[in-house]
Structure 1
Amino acid sequence: MPIEIKMPALSPTMEEGTLAKWLVKPGDEIRSGDIMAEIETDKATMEFEAVDEGTLVSIAVEEGTENVSVGTVIAVLAEEGEDADAAAAAPTPAPAPAAPPSNDGPAATPTARKLAEANGIDLNTITGTGPNGKITKDDVEAAGGTSAPAPAPIPATAAAAAPAASGERIVASPLAKRIAEQKGIDLSTITGSGPNGRIVKADVEDAAPGAAPAAAASAPAPTPAPTPSVSPADGGAPYEEVKLNNVRKVIARRLTEAKLNIPHIYLTVDVRLDPLLKLRSQLNASLEADGVKLSVNDLIIKALARALQREPQCNVSFQGDVMHQYSRQDISVAVAAPSGLITPIITDAGNKGLAQISTEMKELAGKARDGKLQPHEYQGGTASLSNLGMFGTKQFDAVINPPQAMILAVGAGEQRPFVVDGALQVATVMSVTGSFDHRAIDGVDGAKLLDQFRSVIENPMGLVV
C-alpha cells in the first residue's frame, strides 16, 4: 500500500513551512535516515529525514512552494516489494471536504486568525489558498487590512511569464538567497529554474559573483528598471517591499509578546575586564598547541553560568501559577544569522571547561549562520546572553526570551577612569545590563546575580576550577 509522506512539524511552533529543495527524485530507493528534502521552518532551514523505506513514486509538492501546512502530503512511497507503477497509478485519496464555517468563522490557521483579529479583517471576505480552502497567514496579509476580498490566484503560467515589474521582489528560495549573499551574487542577474521562475539553490551554486545569465536567442528586449514605490505614509521616501521570512515573523511575534506580557526590570553594573583579559591571554598561550583559542565571549558564558550557580533563584522560568527552578545552567547565546537572530544553547555550561565551551560555541555559531541547527540545539535554555561589545555598543537593554526570566546584555570593553583598590586608574571597563522578569525575579535577586557575575569576571581564576 502506498505510504504518504507528510509535511513534518520540525519545531513546536511550526504550523506551515517552505519546501526549499527536494534532494531525491521519483524512482529513487529511500532508506530510513536518508535526507529527502530541505524545509524552511519558523526557526531555520532544516534537513528532513525519511522514516519509512521504499521507492519514491511521486512528489506532490514542488520545491520552492511556500506556506505548506503541517500534515499536507508532499510525496508518496511504494513499500518494498510493492509495484511502484501500480502504486503510482493508485488513486490518491480525495481530500476531505472543506469544513463548513463554524461560529468562529471560516477555516483558518491560528496565525491567520490572530493576524486578522489584530488588523480588524473579516475572515469571511477572504478566499483561502491553503488545503481545502483554509485561510493562511499570507491570505490575511494579502487582504491588506481592508474588507475587500483577496484577489483571485494568478495562474502559474501567467506568474511564470510576468516580468518583475512595479517593484515586484525577486522570487528566490531562502537557501538560494543565503548562498547568493555569501558569494556576492546579484539575484537580478540569475534566471530561476524553479516553479514559476523561482530562483533555487542550483541556480546560484555555480554562478560567478556578478555574472549575468547567457541571453537566449529569442529573449525579449530588457525591461527598463521599475520606478521605486513611494508612499505618502513614509513621507514619499522610495522603498522596495521585502517579504518577511518565517524566522523574522517568529522573532517579531515573540518579541512583541515578550514586551507586552513580561514586566521587565533592568539593572546595570560596570565590570573591570583587565584581570579577565590577562587570564585569557595566558590560557590561549597554553591551549595554542591544542588548536583552541578562547574568545572573551566564551569566558562571559562561563561567568554567567557560574553566577547562576551561586544565585539559583535567578535560574528560573515563569510558568503561570508555578515557576521552574533549574539545577543546570543552559545558556542561550544570541547569534546573528542571515535569516534572523537565533539562540543556540551551551547546555550545562556551569560544569563545562572553557575549552569545551569555546569549541561548542564555534560549532553552533557556524551551524546557525548556515541554517543547519537541529531543534535540540536552539530550543530550551534557562538564561540568555546577548553580546554586542564587538560592534562597539557601549550599553543596551535586551528583550527577555520567554519562558526564560532573564537575559544579560553585554557592551564593549573600553578604557575609562576607574577606582581600583582605592586609587583612581585607567582600566578596561564594560557595562552589563540584566533584563529580569519581575514576576519571577525580584530586583534584589537580580542585583545579587549581577554582583556575582562582576565578582567572577574581576576574579577570573574561579572560571578554571
Structure 2
Amino acid sequence: MAQVLRMPGVSANATEAVLAEWLVAESAEFAAADALATVETDKALVDVEAEAAGVVLKTLVTPGSQVEVGAPIAVLGGVGEQVDDLAALLRELGVAEESAPVVAERRDVHDQPVERTEPEVDPGSGAPLAEHAAVVEPASVEPEAGPAPATSASANGRPAPSPGRVFASPLARKIARDAGLTIEEIPGTGPRQRVLRRDVDAVLASRRTAPASESAPVASQGVPDDGFEDVPHTRLRRAVADRLATSKREAPHFYVRTTVRVGRLLALRAELNEALDGEVKVSVNDLVVKAVALAHERVPDLNVTWTDDAVRRWHTADIAVAVATDRGLVTPVLRDVGHRSVSSVAGAVPELAGRAREGRLRQEELEGGSITVTNLGMYGVEEFAAIINPPHAAILAVGAVREEPVVQDGSVVPGSVMSLTLSVDHRPVDGVVAARWLAELTGLLERPVRLLA
C-alpha cells in the first residue's frame, strides 16, 4: 500500500534539513533498512533508512532542496506495487501539488544559492524523468556562438542533455569543488551522463597516478588578484560558530590546569600495542578518553549538564571526541566508555573519526555526553584552553607530550610530561568539583594500570 515518506527530524530542535541525494531511484525496489536518501544536517550527512521493503513510486523533492521537517519527500509502495494513475494516487495522498516542499531557495552543499533548472521531460509520456537533474552553476555555462545544434537522442531513446548543461549529484559536486575540479571536466556515468561520486573519484585517482607535469594546475591568466579569497561558510561551519558563540556568551567559563607526568602511561601504551600485535593501535588520546570516563565515575558531579530547571546528572560516561574535518569541527560521542576496555576504545575512536571526516555519522552519534576531549598535541601544541561544546559542562584540552626536567626522589631527572586544561561551565559545576575531578584524572594517568581494571 502506498504511503508518504516525510522529512525526518534528524537533528535535535531542527525545523528543516537539506535533502542531499536520492540513493534509490524512482521505480527501484529496496529492502528493509536500505538507505533511501541522504539528508544534510548542520553536523553530518545522515542516511534515511527504509522501515520495510518496498518500491519508490515517486520522489517529490529535488536533491539540494531545503525541506521542512515533516514535509513529504517521496511516495513509497509495497514490493512489486505498480500504479497506473500516479497523479490520482498523489491527489489521494494529498501531495499532488507538493512536488518540492522547500522552505528556502535551492542551495548547494556550501549553503550558497544555485540556479534552478526545470527537470527533463520524457517526450513519450510527458512525465518528468525519474532521475532529477542537478543544476549547473551560472559561472560554468559558456555562451555558444551561432545557432544551437539540434538535440540528439541518447542510446536509451531519451534526449541527451542539452549543450552547456551538466548534471551531477550534490555529493559529487562537493567533492569536485573541494579537489579544485570543475564538474564540466568530469565524464559522467550516471543516467543522462550525470556525474556521480565514483566519476569524481576516478578522475582524482588518475591524477594521483599521472606525472606531476600533467596534473599540475595551470595558473589563470588575466584574472585580477585582490589579495584575498572568500571561502563560503559550510552549514557545519556556520552551526559551529553559532554554537560556540552562544557557549561563550551564556556559559560562564572557568579553567583549571595541571601538568601530568606520563612516563608510565607511555610505557603502558607501548606494552599494550606490543600485546595487541597490530590488531588495534592504542594512542595516548585513547588512554586519556578512558581515564576521563573513570574520573567521571569517581566524581559524578562533573558528569552533568545544565538545563533551565535542573542539573541533569548522567548515569553513564559518554565522552565526545573533537574531530577536525574539511567542513568544520565535529564531536562524535563514544558511549559508556567506563565499561569499555582500552582496546575497544582504541578501535572505536578512529572508526568514529573516519566517518566524521566522511560526513557519514548517524545523528545519535552526535548527541549526548557531558564532556568533550580535544587534543592538539599531534601539532606540537603544548597547552591551550578550549570553548565548551554545548550542552556539555566541560571540555578537556590535551597538549603534546614533551620532555622536561622533573624532580624524582629529591633529584632532577628527565621526564615526560603533558599539560591538561579543563574548561568548565560554572552554572552546574563549582570550582572544588572541577579540582577534585582533575586530581582524579591526574592520578589515573600517572598510575595508568588502573585503566585496565
Q: TM-score, normalised by structure 2?
A: 0.77
Looking at structure 1, the residues matched to 81 and 87 of structure 2 have their Cα atoms a distance apart, in angstroms, of 11
Give deviations 1:38-73, integer Å, cap 9, x for gaps: 22222211221123554322222222x142332332
C-alpha distance in structure 1 between counterparts of 2:26 and 2:88, whole Å: 14
Q: One-letter code of the match for 1:19?
A: L
In structure 2, the gaps of 5 or more residues are 119-134, 142-165, 208-219
Relative distance call for 1:161 and 1:299 in structure 2 (3 A) is: closer
Which one-letter code corresponds to 2:268 in the other structure?
L
Query: How far does residue 355 in structure 1 lie from its aligned partner after superposition?
Result: 1.0
Residue 367 of structure 1: SS of its match in structure 2? helix
Is the 2:115–2:138 Cα contact (8 Å) retained in structure 1?
Answer: no
The alignment status of 1:238 with 2:225, answered yes or no, reads: no
Correspondent of 1:451 among 425, 436, 439: 439
Check if 1:269 corresponds to 2:264: no
CA contact (8 A) 1:186 1:209 kept: no
1:398-445 CA distance string (max 9 Å, x none): 111122111100011111222233322221111110000011111122
CA distance 1:32–1:155, shift in 2 (3 Å)? closer
Identity %: 37
> Which of 159, 171, 196 is the equivalent residue of 1:175?
171
Q: Does the alignment pair 1:190 with 2:185?
A: yes
Give the Cα–Cα distance (whole angstroms) in 1 for the partners of residues 341 and 392 of structure 2.
24
CA pair 27-171 structure 1, distance change in 2 beyond 3 A = closer
Tell me, yes or no, if structure 1 residue 436 matches structure 2 residue 447: no
Contact 2:55-2:80 at 8 Å conserved across structures: no
Aligned equivalent of 1:70? 69
Check if 1:85 corresponds to 2:77. Answer: no
Match for residue 338 of structure 2? Answer: 350
Say if 2:111 and 2:233, in contact at 8 Å, map to a contact too: no
SS at match of 1:156: coil
Separation in 1, partners of 2:312, 2:389: 15
Are residues 1:258 and 2:234 paired? no
Aligned CA distance change for structure 1 residues 18 and 317 (closer, same or farther; 3 Å)? same
* 1:379 aligned residue: 367
1:307-456 matches, cutoff 5 A: 307-456=295-444
Deviation at 1:246, TM superposition (A): 2.2
Superposition RMSD in Å: 3.8
SS at match of 1:293: coil
Q: 1:210: Cα distance to partner?
A: 7.2
Distance 1:173 1:448, change over 3 A: farther
Q: What TM-score results when the alignment is normalised by the length of structure 1?
A: 0.75
Rounded Cα–Cα distance in structure 2 between residues aligned with 1:351 and 1:90: 52
Q: In 2, distance between residues paired with 1:27 and 1:171?
A: 20
Q: How much has 1:155 moved relative to structure 2?
A: 5.5
Alignment partner, residue 59 of structure 1: 59
| Mean CA deviation greater in 82-91 or 360-369 | 82-91
Q: Choose the corresponding residue for 1:205, options 201, 204, 211.
A: 201
SS of aligned partner of 2:203: coil
How far apart, in 1, do the equivalents of 2:264 and 2:420 lie? 17
Residue 225 of structure 1 deviates from its aligned partner by: 6.4
Q: CA deviation at 1:276?
A: 0.7
Q: What is the SS of the residue equivalent to 1:267?
A: strand
Q: Distance in 2 between matches of 1:5 and 1:307?
A: 45
Q: 1:81 to 1:47 in 2, by over 3 A?
A: closer
Q: Is 1:163 aligned to 2:152, yes or no?
A: no
Post-superposition CA distance 1:147-197 (Å, at most 9, x none): xxxx9x96537x7483349xxxx9986633664489x563466358699x9
In the superposition, relative to structure 1, how do residues 411 and 31 fare at CA in structure 2: closer, same or farther (>3 Å)? same
Gaps of at least 5 residues in structure 1 are 99-129, 144-150, 212-223, 231-236
Residue 280 of structure 1 is matched in structure 2 by: 269
The verdict on how the C-alpha distance between 1:227 and 1:15 changes in structure 2, with shifts beyond 3 A counting, is farther
Aligned residues: 401
Superposed displacement of residue 339, structure 1:
2.2
The one-letter code of the counterpart of 1:204 is V
Q: Which amino acid aligns with 1:355?
A: S
